[in-house]
Amino acid sequence: MRDDCIFCRIVRQEAHGDIVYQDEEITAFRDINPKAPVHILIVPNRHIPGVFALQPGDESVVGRLFLVARQLAEQEGIAQSGYRLVLNSGPQGGQSVYHLHLHLLGGRPMRWPPG
Ligand code: AMP
């Protein structure tokens, strides 16, 4: 946990977040600047700066990000229509918050390639 990390602070509920799911390993909350009708960020509770910082032993937590995404897609009613999962890494990957997070986007058609 890092005091200067906004997602760590949301996980600890020290900063406001619209949390839709939380367990001992994973937290999910609505994006503050949604790019789609459903836009949820799924994060490990533990501070991992990004994909580039993953270590052997992190397989389980990474897998759980996807399983929680699948569960939330069902809860949000977009499992049948489809959705997009996005994980940005580093400056040219468009990462702006350096705490690993999976974007769950849905509720409208997604263009490809993204802009
Ligand atoms: P990325 O560009 O992949 O690092 O995505 C970071 C995302 O975090 C962006 O979509 C932001 O809108 C979102 N974000 C930043 N601060 C907050 C916050 N305090 N609560 C919820 N979402 C946030």
Minimum CA distance residue for ligand 1 atom 16 = 32
113 within a domain of the structure (yes/no): no
Tens-digit pLDDT profile for residues 56-96: 999 999 999 999 999 999 999 999 999 999 999 999 999 99
Catalytic machinery residues: 101
Domain count, the chain: 1
- Does the residue 1 lie in any domain? no
Name the 3-class secondary structure at 72.
Answer: helix
Atom of ligand 1 nearest to the CA of 30: 21
Domain that holds residue 12: 6-106
Which residues, other chains included, contact 41 with Cβ-Cβ below 8 Å and sequence gap of 6+? 7, 28, 29, 30, 31, 101, 102, 103, 104
pLDDT of residue 114: 82
Query: Tell me, what's the pLDDT at 2?
Result: 87
Ligand 1 site-directed mutation target among 4, 11, 32, most atoms within 8 Å of CB: 32
CB-based contacts of 114, cutoff 8 Å, min separation 6: 86
pLDDT given at position 61: 98
Does a structural domain hold residue 115? no
pLDDT of residue 1: 83
Q: What is the pLDDT of residues 3-19, one digit of tens each?
A: 899 999 999 999 999 99
Which of 41, 95, 99 should be mutated for ligand 1, with most atoms under 8 A from CB? 41
pLDDT score of 29: 98
| 111 lies in some domain | no
Tell me the CATH number at 75.
3.30.428.10
18-41 residue pLDDT tens: 999 999 999 999 999 999 999 999
List pocket residues of ligand 1, CB cut-off 6 Å. Answer: 6, 17, 29, 31-33, 41, 88, 94-97
